[in-house]
Amino acid sequence: MADQTQIDRLRLRDIAPQSLFIDGAWQPGAGGELDVVSPIDGATLTTLAVASATDVENAVASARRAFDDGCWSRQSPAARKKVLYAIADKIEAEALELAVLGVRDNGTEFNMAFKAEPGSAAGTFRYYAEALDKVAGEVAPTASDVLALVHRMPVGVVGAIVPWNFPLMIAAWKLAPALAMGNSVVLKPAESASLSLLRLAEICSECGLPDGVLNVVTGTGAETGATLAKSMGVDVLAFTGAGTTGRRLLEASAASNLKRCYLELGGKSPNIVFADAPDLAKAAKVSAMGIFRNSGQVCVAGSRLLVEASIHDEFVEALKAEAEALRVGDPLDLTTQVGAVNSEEQLRRNLSFVDMARAEGGRVLTGGNRILQDLGGSYMAPTIVTGVTPDTALFQREVFGPVLAVTKFETEEQALTLANATSFGLASAVWTADLSRAHRMVAGIRAGLVHVNTYGGSDNTVPLGGVGQSGNGHDKSLHALDKYVDLKTAWIQL
């Protein structure tokens, strides 16, 4: 683990203007440049190249050439495994540098970023390196005079569009299984979190990934992302981000080549606390971090707290104390527990939801305001709003900020109804000592992930995906491989 002196030294490093990574080489972008503004202090760190439509299509063509010539797609599983392991080792070796670079770019508190970004990404590449030669085709049980084989074939070119909150982690969830299955990839990072992914492309090349197998195009969603989504040369599109963008990606697929789209679109996840929770103090502490870590910029954040009426006041006071005790500040300070909001635009959005909540009858128990303006960056106090009803914006819409909506319930049936009263279905949690109740709630909550007596934390052995307007398809686990293969039947008459 790093010490403060190492972090402070790395935060002072100059960052050169960035280029596109296409066909194994750095190339300028024809679409101009974007400033990279750090949410820590508002300073401009460097510039990104903006990939024009032509640049994106060049990257797609490079990926297609690499796929068709078999330099990666037809390598043996053992050869692909060796490269993916090397990438994991290199990420781990550069974990400190990657973590600081990412924090300067997107504002996540260092202690979380170090584990969730390079730490998680290295683990993900290792997981799929180990898995890739354990996934085989099938021999179907058919007539005795026929041999029926089911082959798992790489799809070809994968377009991956990833968000700014955990760029390395989420990119690895898409890149590692896609590469493990022999595909080529064109990766489009978020404008406000591209730096660590450009370095990842370089790492992959240094570790033996052939030219063209991974290309990174930076730029705006309106041009760079839209061109990737509409490209006739992309076979599968994997996306994590907002539902409005997800809808546009589906429209682009329909208007182009009907590419498969896998969309993780966030949530409004319920965190349900019953009076018989085994440890209410623990529930309050964990629930606070379940919404306030990374300034609430977590897709599975427990942003709706549902509390049994008999303990509502007591529990909310405990939660308020936890929230007010959190140290918000410079994310590169090791004593900081909650870092910066990613951008001024996101901070304004967060504050607008607090204003709407007040207008709709909610009570701001703590927070609700911008803080630490003297630092020059984007910071918000952890915010708790009580009295939130199902017909309000704060109950229904994803904020993606450190804003918790609190609603009380009387019965288990009412809790379940409230839990399912939004269009989302990504994550959830239940706190109870009643094993039967826990199982009933797991069965009844419409979500891809249900925590019991905890919030947050799952590893690569289990899938992450949502239902409803939280999207489709799954990242993580062996199930993620299904997105990046086609099934081909061979029917052989004997």
For residue 452, what are the β-bridge partners?
430
Structural tokens at position 212: 């063209």
Residue 284, CA distances (Å) to 25, 188, 241 in order: 50, 38, 28
Task: Report helix, strand or coil for 150.
Answer: strand
Q: What kind and span of H or E run contains 250?
A: helix 243-255
Alpha carbon distance 65, 212 (integer Å)? 7
Residues 6+ apart with CB under 8 A from 385: 354, 357, 362, 363, 364, 365, 368, 394, 403, 404, 405, 406
Among 109, 117, 191, 264, the active-site one is 264
CB contact burial 360-387 (16+ within 10 A = b; e otherwise): bebebbbbbeeeeeeeebbbbbbbbbbb
Residue with tokens 């300073």: 43
The burial class, CB within 10 Å (0-12 / 13-18 / 19+), for 23 is middle
Q: With contact defined as beta carbons under 8 Å apart, do 15 and 183 qualify? A: no
Residue 264 annotated as catalytic:
yes
The burial class, CB within 10 Å (0-12 / 13-18 / 19+), for 44 is exposed
Task: State the CB neighbour count (10 A cutoff) for residue 401.
Answer: 26
Nearest to 236 by CA among 327, 304, 122, 155: 155
Task: State the CB neighbour count (10 A cutoff) for residue 357.
Answer: 25
Task: State the CB neighbour count (10 A cutoff) for residue 54.
Answer: 12
Alpha carbon distance 434, 454 (integer Å)? 14
Structural tokens at position 429: 């949690």
Residue with tokens 């049936």: 413
Active site residues: 264
